[in-house]
Structure 1
């Protein structure tokens, strides 16, 4: 075993199950514990490639994910997922870092037959408490959004609550509705939902709301994807305003930071906080609020229930942390980890 630094971030499970149309608070049936238990049974004996529950829409940020493992103990349930990364005609690309801008050398490496290029992500669920944590080791991405999409797509297409009917000609599958169990009637007035939100430490957001009238500047860190026309246009406009020369060879993703003067009220600050908590999934994605009379901004990310912990784990290989060893390490540091949300 070896001690590795793990960054742990807690999330609240806002919705998990089947909800009546227009109702977001209480499910008609379902729940996080039932979903995980059923998912464990559904995946048993399946090949990895057969566990994909959704196909990303064209132009979507999401890529396919697969269920690699579910392991449980007395404290919770660890879900290990495999996140697919892009490939070209059975090869993955690597740009040589020592090559020149404008003449970058790209090496294409073969993917073995049946291989799925990607990386692992880990999610530790405590379903009875309605929370879970993403656990990151060597990668910067939590994979929380693809996991959320995976769970919701599983509920809507593969769970035991799904009721199918004979499809019309030319249709592969036709959904009749959902039901709680075979003893219950089929319903068409409910829909599947699995939605989450970052958990926060108390204090900082309350301060920003109470002191909204003192905000005089907003700092923004964001990641721009230059393959999106609207984000490319924003980046180009920023360079034009700053009278900077744009590079000829554009990267796919850039880190962008800017600041603007602002006057805000409590409702506007609350709207930014809510939107950021619901959509935050990247390291370089933050808002900082500078109050009058202060020199440093108050960053939203500093109030996230997140910290680094040394975990003594085994690895199955260079990429995969052994699930049993990870659960043991979490149990060994349980009090310190849960202090983030207590």
Structure 2
């Protein structure tokens, strides 16, 4: 048995769309995944399963294809990707947890960059029937939503069989047979998904918009990070001659007067929902004029569950095995997806 954190997302776009259309004119979620599998499994090498080239200054690096499994009964899919992590020519750094601040030498785990791509697997359970997917996170994997966004958008734009080329081999549109039509240049590739919310939380905030007087934010900070150190020093400024020196993470609560518009409120909720696990932000909330606080963490459709699946050390869970374990608890998972937890 492995403990998994499951976080659900609504699929708003997956395919090829005409301007402002919400309905795809070409392809759909299952079609995209199955054709992706055909392309990535055609005998090419792992390094050639990337669909985009990450910029050096981006936090999300390259992403690669590990496998896809499909359940014939429900039409669900389990997609496994490999998310490259930051490294210095194959070297991944670490700091001794008991070292004192100011220590500059780092521990290293090295790879031959010609033999290994440093990273972690990401598992995604797609339910086309409901137009949703879930990130399935274990201790050895990442949520990887940003990697999935980049990967599928890269596939749709750069690798799919629907591309239409001009004489210079440049993509000029998309069509069902890859041939130019009157509409081929009007179709745009798009995969867009947003975190699923328990409607009650967002609806409550919107209906009580006039009562919101403050915004709240909890974040993790550490004295080891220069920017965080300045925050800690400012907190104790005028109270202690020197701020407490600690290597442990601390939680900081920000509270500021704020009366958002509905547009601002929705934007904050959307931004919070798109945060990666690596973000220092742990929670965001709003305080009403009566002093009551509503936190957005209660809005995310996210929970932990035990899955009857095993993993060998230093192995990715095979997509078929993981999908089989999920399907056995499919009804329970979907019920939990639709049912807000008691107490918010």
Fold agreement, TM-score > 0.5: yes
Structure 1 stretches (4+) deviating beyond 4 angstroms? 235-241, 243-248, 253-257
Report if aligned partners of 1:96, 1:104 keep a CA contact under 8 Å in 2. Answer: no
Any stretches of 5+ residues in structure 1 without a counterpart? 168-172, 225-230
Give the drift of 1:174: 2.1
- The residue number in structure 2 matching 1:121 is 122
CA distance in 2, matches of 1:265, 1:52: 41
Give the drift of 1:164: 2.4
Pick one of 55, 69, 72 that aligns with 2:70.
72
**Aligned CA distance change for structure 1 residues 141 and 158 (closer, same or farther; 3 Å):** same
Pick one of 36, 39, 43 that aligns with 2:40.
43
- The residue number in structure 2 matching 1:270 is 266
1:305-330 alpha-carbon deviations (Å, 9 max, x no partner): 11111111121433522322211221
**Aligned CA distance change for structure 1 residues 62 and 162 (closer, same or farther; 3 Å):** same
Report if aligned partners of 2:120, 2:141 keep a CA contact under 8 Å in 1. Answer: no
- The residue number in structure 1 matching 2:87 is 87
Give the drift of 1:93: 1.9
- The residue number in structure 1 matching 2:342 is none
Any stretches of 5+ residues in structure 2 without a counterpart? 339-344
CA distance in 1, matches of 2:57, 2:104: 25
Report if aligned partners of 2:52, 2:62 keep a CA contact under 8 Å in 1. Answer: yes
1:57-82 alpha-carbon deviations (Å, 9 max, x no partner): 23212111111010111331000111
- The residue number in structure 1 matching 2:334 is 338
Report if aligned partners of 1:219, 1:260 keep a CA contact under 8 Å in 2. Answer: yes
How does 1:138-177 map onto structure 2 within 5 Å?
A: 138=139, 141-167=142-168, 174-177=170-173
1:96-137 alpha-carbon deviations (Å, 9 max, x no partner): 223322124312332144211111110000123211100001
Report if aligned partners of 1:12, 1:197 keep a CA contact under 8 Å in 2. Answer: yes
Matched length: 326
1:232-261 alpha-carbon deviations (Å, 9 max, x no partner): 88x68856754657999x9xx997642212
Report if aligned partners of 1:15, 1:24 keep a CA contact under 8 Å in 2. Answer: no
Give the drift of 1:92: 2.2
Q: If the length of structure 1 is used for normalisation, what is the TM-score?
A: 0.84
Secondary structure of 1:132 counterpart: strand
1:304 aligns with 2:300: yes
